[in-house]
Chain A
């Protein structure tokens, strides 16, 4: 099957994830949207790996997953911390780092 539909799907998922990051105040949903974007990128990687007959793309996707796991651990810890101190999971509340 031609890779184009996969890539379009990846594009759509990526932009939907971006929309989630931009539009949702809930830190968890924004974070999950980031995960969605990563997954979309992974899909593109895997598609291209197959297209080129070369599984390096799959390796990259694998590393992306591992890094995503690490990121999730730290990110969720931060969210928990923020929630603990501010009683809020809204990213807009953590906006004090400005003049």
Chain B
């Protein structure tokens, strides 16, 4: 199958090179403030100690909101430049210079970066505000906000870096923040284990990143975007494919894509704002950012792009299927996240035809998924931290604000026009069809499954009958939590339309960075939309029949084999355990055995031998001067003998 169109690639590369990066001046040169503000917030909160316990959340919020405000200022400033002159490099300082390898700690603010910056700081601000209410009764709230600020700073560094190595700092920084926040309730063993799992799985991806960095050094002699992208044209396709695949591995780790998807579901052990911010809206999309940012490499690496498409397609279906079977509301949403990022990956793999849509969907997804997660958190907040949807039901009257915003998010994610998800997801499906019918069909089926599981979540939570625990007294969350919900709900409604049509829309906005191209579609756009909508309605209808028309048992039924498999994350953990963990353990055990018996044995044996010998030889040290004299005489005699032997011919 022809997943890529080689002819248009050359064009894309040309448009790619069209945008020149300007040295920043004026306001833009203060881009570093974006990172510095939350970093300062994190430092103050984490180093300030208990005296900040009462004001910590305000400091944390102020840092992020300040960063958001500054991002808006920079955005407006960018608008004053021409469309193709909106990329600015913000030189800070030379990080290190080792031989011919120089790394400058520079920032790159362009259309892609600012989109991310706005998403991260905007959604981040809302989630920070929401967390004030959500974490109100947690005595370590100050630390929570410190970690959140640390995350925001690292994420901003990730998207603003102008060098893969600097990007890697942010990459690891968000990994650290993710680890800290997943395991925030570290007294729960499940949370500690989930944090560890996320960390370990991410290490696999990071290895890909490190190897990609090393490969770049070999091929281009540098890791800076400028040099790498400029040199990609002349590099061997084999190397580009290698780098592309390694970057994909890194992206898979960070974005929970197949085959490194297993950590995301467990990561829901963290507080819900964390799930919303890190494991739905921002951090998990870093992989998509990485792929889109590396467009210059992927444009020239067809095999790597094919791999990206395959990974995205597999994950979007896997995530959707997993989402259908989970009773834990957060895990259902996590499966959904995997699936939606799969869409983005798929779009990113389509090349210039899909980059913009990947980012578009990423941003709308950031809106509505944060909305959904925060809504779920609000539900949990009102239901004594209950997460099992089979214990929810008929909550729409008990928490109307949550219901309404959640419903908006629901409509957005299943892609009902004119909600945000419709525009972004539909574009991806169209682009997928433009590339390959089979992939397009998968994406379309995925949309149907999405409709199914989201309808299921919606129905189980807010409709159907009450299946509450006896001591549950559902109530609406405080305003500090509902306001962010309203804001995100609004974005879920208007985000799609707004991004698509205001001022030429996000596609034009990103075009200087990502390039643009169109494929001929096998079917008219209207037919595709109609088909997609049909599938979506079909999925929603099936869910309505299964859950609204029939009573929902509190205990999960046995289910068919697919359900069982989906409940077990499609055996992702079992696979990891059987293929990686067990052999790894056997390997380590055998290595330990070899170490103990072989290496240690040799060392200890040598030590024992020396000890034994010295114990023997110690007997010679009698302390009797006459014994020593005897030895001396014998030695002198031996010397005489030796001299004679040498002399005598």
Contact = CB atoms under 8 A, between A and B. Distances in A.
Nearest to A95: B623
A94 interface: yes
A99 B626 contact: no
A73 interface: no
B624 interface: yes
B621 A95 contact: no
A1 interface: no
Contacts of B623: 95-98
B622 interface: yes
A22 B624 CA distance: 10
A71 interface: no
A91 B626 contact: yes
A21 interface: yes
Interface string B611-649: 000000010011111100110010000000000000000
A92 interface: yes
Contact of A21 (B618, B621, B629): B629
A96 B622 CA distance: 9
Contact of A22 (B618, B621, B622, B630): B630
A17 to B, nearest CB: 10
Interface in A75-99: 91-92, 94-99
B626 A21 contact: yes
Contacts of B622: 95, 98
B612 to A, nearest CB: 15
A95 B633 CA distance: 19
Interface in B590-630: 618, 621-626, 629-630
Nearest to A91: B625
Nearest to A34: B629
Contacts of A23: 626
Contacts of B621: 98-99
B629 A94 contact: no
B615 to A, nearest CB: 10
A4 to B, nearest CB: 17
Contacts of B633: 18, 22
Contacts, number: 28
B620 to A, nearest CB: 10
Nearest to B621: A98
A25 B621 CA distance: 18
A93 B313 CA distance: 92
Contacts of A95: 622-625
A25 B624 CA distance: 10
Contact of B624 (A18, A91, A99): A91
Indicate the member of B622, B623, B630 with the most A CB atoms within 10 Å: B623
Nearest to B633: A18
A25 to B, nearest CB: 8
Nearest to A19: B633
A74 B518 CA distance: 108
A88 B622 CA distance: 19
Contacts of A94: 625
A59 B270 CA distance: 97
Contacts of B629: 18, 21-22
Interface string A43-87: 000000000000000000000000000000000000000000000
Contacts of A22: 626, 629-630, 633
Contacts of B630: 22
B200 to A, nearest CB: 52
Contacts of A30: 626
Contacts of A97: 623
A91 B625 CA distance: 7
Q: Which of A18, A23, A30 has the most CB of B within 10 A?
A: A18
A96 B626 CA distance: 13
A93 to B, nearest CB: 10
Interface string A1-35: 00000000000000000100111010000100000
Nearest to B630: A22
A92 B623 CA distance: 8
B643 to A, nearest CB: 16
A59 B624 CA distance: 35
A99 B618 contact: yes
A22 B628 CA distance: 9
B624 to A, nearest CB: 5
Contacts of A96: 623
A22 B629 CA distance: 7
A90 to B, nearest CB: 10
Contacts of A99: 618, 621
Contacts of A21: 626, 629
A92 B618 contact: no
Contacts of A18: 629, 633
A63 B623 CA distance: 31
B617 to A, nearest CB: 11
A92 B622 CA distance: 10
A98 B623 CA distance: 5
A86 B461 CA distance: 99
Interface string B181-195: 000000000000000
A92 B629 CA distance: 12
Nearest to A23: B626
Nearest to A15: B633
Q: Which of B621, B622, B625 has the most CB of A within 10 A?
A: B625
Contacts of B626: 21-23, 25, 30, 91-92
A91 B622 CA distance: 12
5 contacts: A18-B629, A21-B629, A30-B626, A91-B624, A94-B625
Interface of B: 618, 621-626, 629-630, 633
Given A91-B624, A94-B625, 13 more contacts: A18-B633, A21-B629, A22-B629, A23-B626, A25-B626, A30-B626, A91-B625, A91-B626, A92-B626, A95-B623, A96-B623, A98-B622, A99-B621
Closest A-B pairs by Cβ, 3 of them: A98-B623, A95-B623, A98-B621
